Structure 1
Amino acid sequence: MAYILNMFKRNSLLIALVLVMIFFEVLIQSTDKGSLFSPQNFTNIIYQNSYVIILAVGMLFLIIGCGNIDLSVGSIVALIGAVAGVLMVNNEYNIYMSMAICILLGILIGAWHGFWIAYIRIPSFIVTLAGMLLFRGLALIVLDGITINPFPYEYLQLFTSFVPANRADAYATTVAVTMVIVAIYVIGVLYGRISKLKKGYEVEPLSGFLFKHLIVLAALIASSLLLAQNKGIPVILVLIAAVVIIYAFIANKTVVGRRIYALGGNEKAAKLSGVNTNRLLFLSYVNMGLLAAVAALVCVARFNSASPMAGTGYELDAIGSCFIGGASAYGGVGTVGGAVIGAIFMGVLNNGMSILGVDANWQKAVKGLVLLVAVVVDVMSKKRVTN
């Protein structure tokens, strides 16, 4: 019995996500308001949460590294979206040059935050709160308080098109791609487990290992079938996958990733071990600025407009995704996969309550309670370990 409880505890987030999906599907079906898992709605969930996932990955590295958060990412999205609109729509600049300028601006904003936090040692809450006000104000100034649209068709195609372009081939292509991904995933997880066993590392029990990965594979196959029945694989999903894979590799397989975890575990110990903690903290904020710029480009493509009020509340969704996904408020604990699952969890809550017609104010209340519960569980588990 204890073994089964431990298995469920290790995979509690995945189980909670599945249960929430089933809960909303039953409610939606019972009220004859469609289906959470209709092909069109599933694609819509991906688009709705694409920029939240990107922001959550960047936020995760801040939380892991030092328990810090960035309150300004929503305002950064608005400012960079405004700059993109002025460049591409008003001045008709080359879309690739405009995107490069936006990415560079995001990096500079991240460096601005990183300088004050890492080297001057001003608390991150103060710096990013100031940034939230500053960049929102600059977005209003750049756009003169109005919304700019439409964006060039070529730019929209970079983020809103599907693979393959021909809808008639969508089903066959999506299934073929899924088969390749499933094969790579199975080979990868088996190789990783066998490699750990050969090196004498501790691994999770076989039943828990199979339970977790079978859920992932089932979700992957079911998702691909839904996409295949709609228009195929959204290009934005390819971008999200690339971001998640790259940052998961950095977190788990590189020296920088190990140092970030060490920084969050104990900054003084990491510094005494030879880690340049100031530079690492600085680069974490630079990275956050970079990903905020990417999220901004995705956001304006989805809405086909640049608005001075864009990005409102995005910082809260990104932070909530990380904590719901298992990141510790104290730093040093968290995974990219957990942050992605947390973002999907938030997305399902948003989408499910919207379909059911739940008032927007109640939606915020529910998300606030979910976030509070996630942090309380983290704090209480830390106290049990300490005691």
Structure 2
Amino acid sequence: MDNIKQFINNNVKQYGMIIALVGIVILFQILTDGILLTPLNITNIIMQNSYIIVLAIGMLIVIITGEIDLSVGSVAAFVGAMAGILLVNQDLPIILSIVLCLVVGAAIGAWQGFWVAYVSIPSFIVTLAGMLIFRGLTLVALQGQTIAPFPDGFRSLSSSFLPEAFGGGELHLLTLLIGVVLSVIYIVNEIKLRKSDRQYNIQVPSAILFATKLALFVIVINLFTYMLALYEGIPYVLIILLVLVLGYTFMMNKTILGRHIYSVGGNEKAAKLSGVKTAKVKFIAFVNMGIMAALAGLIFAGRLNAATPQAGNLFELDAIAAAVIGGASFTGGVGRVFGAVIGALVMGVLNNGMSLMGIGIDWQQAIKGLVLLAAVAFDVLSKKK
């Protein structure tokens, strides 16, 4: 019992939002008479929230440095407009257009990062100005009109699936195989981490708790891939998200840059006195946010199959909410990539579940606001403790 209590105390923040997500899923599964967890709806939740997850990862890094970015929705809309002009009006190659759009996103991030990092203008003001500037430029670029449709190759980025390689009929066998492979990779990685912790005399949970944790995660992974296999399989956008989550998790936990990002947010003055180039770190965080906003804009435009002036509305609020619900702190220095993904899924399941129940957009906004307030209150109270 002591071991279990210690494990819960050490991981309450790490797994608290996972437990909350599971509770929300069970609640809406009951309230929607089982519609929420149908294979088609699970796929819809992934596709509908893919761009929010992308934004949440970028926003997390900005928030960890102690800053904020209110312009990501407008930047996503502007980049979507650029994609429409390049691909539909100018008929440029798809790869070249995507690269140019990501470069535009990086340039926007560098522009805003310069004012925040090197001129020391508060990020709230800089990005609020950016929100207005790029929303206006989106309207100018599109002249108030919608550009559509996009080429099929571009739309596949956010609306197509991995092809079946084994001719599985009703079940997508390649998806099931990927689930098994991911389970093996997860088990091997967890065993390596446990051995590493023991070498450095770090306390680890008992063998029973460790085995229970592995079993639960393996069951979840394979149930998830099984549900996807019942529909069309794994969407390409899910592969993009997996690469981003793994890549940014590695960067934040295992690289010098990641440690510097945490140190700047934790105590900027101490980090500067320790030799960390704090301005450069903040600049990089905003450049990265620009690229992620551009990628989110491309995914959203591909899913919508159109570049519209209204694209990106309130994306910044969803991204901030996802990062904060996932455990990031506005004081900086705290947050995890996996937590931001869980936060985005919490928001996504709330949106989807309430829509399935026929709840209006007015009440949806109010309920999401209460969830965000509760998450921040939990963070403040846990810090006081």
| TM-score over 0.5 for the pair | yes
Residue aligning to 1:226? 227
CA contact (8 A) 2:77 2:310 kept: yes
2-structure distance, mates of 1:243, 1:305:
25
Report the Cα distance in structure 2 between the residues aligned to 1:295 and 1:382, rounded to whole angstroms.
33
Which structure 2 segments of 5+ residues have no match? none
1:63 maps onto 2:67 in alignment: no
Indicate whether 1:12 and 2:12 are aligned: no
Counterpart mapping for 1:294-373 below 5 A: 294-373=295-374
Runs ≥4 in structure 1, deviation > 6 angstroms? none
Query: How far, CA to CA, are the matches of 2:80 and 2:318 in structure 1?
Result: 18
1:155 paired residue number:
154
Residues 89-148 of structure 1, C-alpha deviations (whole Å, 9 max, x = no match): 111111111111100000000000100000000000000000001000000000001111
- What is the identity percentage for the equivalent residue pairs of Structure 1 and Structure 2? 49
Query: In structure 2, what is the equivalent of residue 43 of structure 1?
Result: 43
How far 1:168 sits from its partner (Å)?
Answer: 4.3
Cα distance between partner residues in 2 of 1:324 and 1:212: 23
Alignment of 1:101-180 (within 5 A): 101-164=100-163, 168-169=167-168, 171-180=172-181
Q: AA paired with 2:58?
A: G
* Matches for 1:59-98 after TM superposition, within 5 Å: 59-66=59-66, 68-98=67-97
Please tell me the root mean square deviation across aligned C-alpha atoms, in Å: 1.7
Q: 2:252, 2:258 within 8 Å by CA — same for their partners in 1? A: yes
Q: Of 4, 8, 27, which residue of structure 1 is paired with 2:31?
A: 27
- Tell me the CA shift for residue 167 of structure 1: 9.4
What is the SS of the residue equivalent to 1:71?
coil
Counterpart residue type for residue 374 of structure 1: A
Change beyond 3 A, Cα 1:118–1:205? farther
Deviation at 1:205, TM superposition (A): 5.6
Aligned residue for 2:36, secondary structure, equals coil
Shift of 1:239: 0.4
Give the superposition deviation at 1:153: 1.1
1:155 and 1:132 map into 2 onto residues whose CA distance is: 26
With over 3 angstroms needed to count, the CA separation of the structure-2 counterparts of 1:8 and 1:192, relative to structure 1, is closer
The residue number in structure 2 matching 1:275 is 276
Conservation of the 8 A alpha-carbon contact between 2:197 and 2:204: yes
CA distance in 2 between partners of 1:366 and 1:193 (Å): 40
In 2, the alpha carbon distance for the partners of 1:379 and 1:256 equals 27
Aligned to 1:163, what secondary structure does the other structure show?
coil
Query: What letter matches 1:26 in structure 2?
Result: I
Q: Which residue of 2 aligns with 1:217?
A: 218
CA displacement at 1:346 relative to structure 2? 0.7
Give the drift of 1:199.
Answer: 1.9
Matched-pair contact (CA < 8 Å) for 1:163–1:233: yes
**C-alpha displacement of 1:206:** 5.3
Q: State the alpha-carbon separation in 1 of the partners of residues 41 and 164 from structure 2.
A: 20
Identify if the C-alpha distance between structure 1 residues 130 and 179 changes in structure 2 by more than 3 Å, giving closer, same or farther.
same
Kept in 2, the 8 Å contact 1:329–1:378? The answer is no
Structure 1 residues 45-84: Cα deviation after superposition (integer angstroms, max 9, x where no partner): 0000100000000001011122x11100000000000000
**1:167 and 1:231 in contact (8 A); partners too:** no
Distance 2:266 2:106 in 1: 26
Q: Contact 1:64–1:332 at 8 Å: present in 2 too?
A: yes
Higher mean displacement: 11-20 or 284-293: 11-20
In the other structure, the counterpart of 1:247 is 248
Amino acid at match of 1:13: M
| CA distance in structure 2 between the aligned counterparts of 1:374 and 1:330, rounded to whole angstroms | 14
Alpha carbons of 1:267 and 1:373: their partners in 2 closer, same or farther (altered >3 Å)?
A: same
Aligned pairs, number: 379
- Determine if contact 2:166/2:174 at 8 Å carries over to the other structure: no
Is the Cα–Cα contact under 8 Å of residues 167 and 232 in structure 1 kept in the other structure? no
The CA deviation at 1:219 is 2.2
The 3-state SS of whatever aligns with 1:46 is helix
The amino acid across from 2:326 in the alignment is G
Residue type at the aligned position of 1:329: F
Q: Equivalents in 2 of 1:38, 1:193: separation in Å?
A: 36
Match of 1:257 in 2: 258
Q: Is the 8 A contact 1:119 1:278 kept in 2?
A: yes
**Residue 268 of structure 1: CA displacement?**
0.4
Describe the SS at the equivalent of 2:21: helix
What displacement does 1:212 show? 4.7
Partner SS, residue 162 of structure 1 = coil
| Residue identity matched to 1:64 | I
